[in-house]
Amino acid sequence: MTFQIRQLGTADYPFVISVIDQWWGGRQMSDMLPRLFFEHFTDTSFAAERDGRLAGFLVGFVSQSRPGEAYIHFVGVDPAERGNGLGRLLYETFFQAAGARGCVLVRAITSPVNRGSVAFHQRMGFQLEPGDAEVDGIPVSPGYDGRGGDRVRFIRGLRGSGHGARTQSAAGGLNR
Amino acid sequence: MTFQIRQLGTADYPFVISVIDQWWGGRQMSDMLPRLFFEHFTDTSFAAERDGRLAGFLVGFVSQSRPGEAYIHFVGVDPAERGNGLGRLLYETFFQAAGARGCVLVRAITSPVNRGSVAFHQRMGFQLEPGDAEVDGIPVSPGYDGRGGDRVRFIRGLRGSGHGARTQSAAGGLNR
């Protein structure tokens, strides 16, 4: 199973928007992905193609105001492509790009309902950050994003921490 | 009418989310403003206070992948504070911050329904970028953002172009 990784670009935007809600099992996700991320953060955002078709993507950036920090905003994998390690490949590509830009840690968040995403981030070496609440043993930050958007927060070092040494193949892990 | 301008921060997020839909006349805006903008772009995002109370804010950033470009993502002014030049003050603060970081142009977008915003940007020296459609003489880019999000696109030079020399007091101009 070979994927071609390249930079994400504005030309990918219409296709991504057309499939994003379906890739998330019907959840309304497109509002969380304005075009600006496909225009202004393309050097740390990646598309994965198989046979010329978009199989997945990652939108991430280097924090402008927090030195050494990087952030993964949005990751999507075509349901038909899950279980092939694509999530892991996209994350590792981002870790490399962020590290090359001087970042020493990466943050990401997800929704508490997305247990597959929580497990994926743990396999990828992320730690769960403390929250003000707990749901089924998972620390949750209530109302973290927008109006009532509870989130699970992740953090992962990029250097010398040993994180990621035991990462396994991603089984459909997505964020959000 | 004196405003105190300072950097925007995560401490401002809960208040902004609590008022944002009301400031936009009931439009659902909070989903467009995830917390990441209050964490990772604070050096080019600004809060305006009067008597210790948030009167308005601007969220903007320097493009990571387009050298010399800056982008204004979101600007809000308390309806009770409009007509006092606060929109202009926030934009000029951003222009200065972006210019100090080597930017030579600024982009912004708004919704075609927000005619006050279109007029405000024109007063602030922005040009309207061409669109694939036109609504009441305004060029519009259909489906620019997300699913069916038509947008008017603005661009403004930051140096030696003479743009902005004739800017007037903002009368309630907001973006989106």
The DSSP line for B59-114 is EEEE-SSSTTEEEEEEEEE-GGGTTSSHHHHHHHHHHHHHHHTT--EEEEEE-TT-
Residues of chain A that touch chain B, judged by Cβ-Cβ distance less than 8 Å: 14, 17, 21, 30-36, 39-44, 61-66, 69, 71, 73, 143-147
Structure tokens that stand for B55 in this block: 């009167």
Q: With bands split at pLDDT 50, 70 and 90, how would you rate the model's confidence at A176?
A: low
Using a CB-CB cut-off of 8 Å, the residues of chain A touching B60 are none
For residues A106 and A156, give the distance between their C-alpha atoms in angstroms, rounded to a whole number.
Answer: 5
* Res A168: pLDDT: 36
pLDDT at A163 over 50: no
Among B17, B30, B71, select the one facing A36 at the smallest CB separation. B71
For residues B124 and B155, give the distance between their C-alpha atoms in angstroms, rounded to a whole number.
Answer: 11
Q: Which residues, at least 6 apart from B113, have a Cβ–Cβ distance to it below 8 Å?
A: none
* Res B161: pLDDT: 43
* Res B165: pLDDT: 37
pLDDT: is B5 or A30 the higher one?
A: B5
**Quick check: B69 and A40 CB within 8 A?**
yes
**Quick check: B42 and A65 CB within 8 A?**
yes
Please choose, from the candidates B10, B173, B170, B150, the residue with its C-alpha nearest in 3D space to the C-alpha of residue B76. Answer: B173
pLDDT at A132 over 60: yes
Average pLDDT over residues A29-47: 94
Among A32, A43, A63, select the one facing B34 at the smallest CB separation. A32
Using a CB-CB cut-off of 8 Å, the residues of chain B touching A145 are 34-35
For residues A102 and B172, give the distance between their C-alpha atoms in angstroms, rounded to a whole number.
Answer: 41
- pLDDT > 90 fraction of chain B, expressed in percent and rounded: 81
Query: Across all residues in chain B, what is the average pLDDT?
Result: 90
Number of other CB atoms surrounding residue B52 within 10 Å: 6
In this structure, the strands spanning A127-128 and B46-50 are unpaired
Using a CB-CB cut-off of 8 Å, the residues of chain B touching A30 are 146-147
Q: Which of A64-78, B55-69, B139-153 has the lowest mean pLDDT?
A: B139-153
For residues B32 and B67, give the distance between their C-alpha atoms in angstroms, rounded to a whole number.
Answer: 25
ipTM for the whole complex: 0.89
* Res B1: pLDDT: 67
Q: Which of B41-50, B76-85, B88-97, B145-154 has the lowest mean pLDDT?
A: B145-154
Average pLDDT over residues A110-130: 95
Q: With bands split at pLDDT 50, 70 and 90, how would you rate the model's confidence at B146?
A: confident
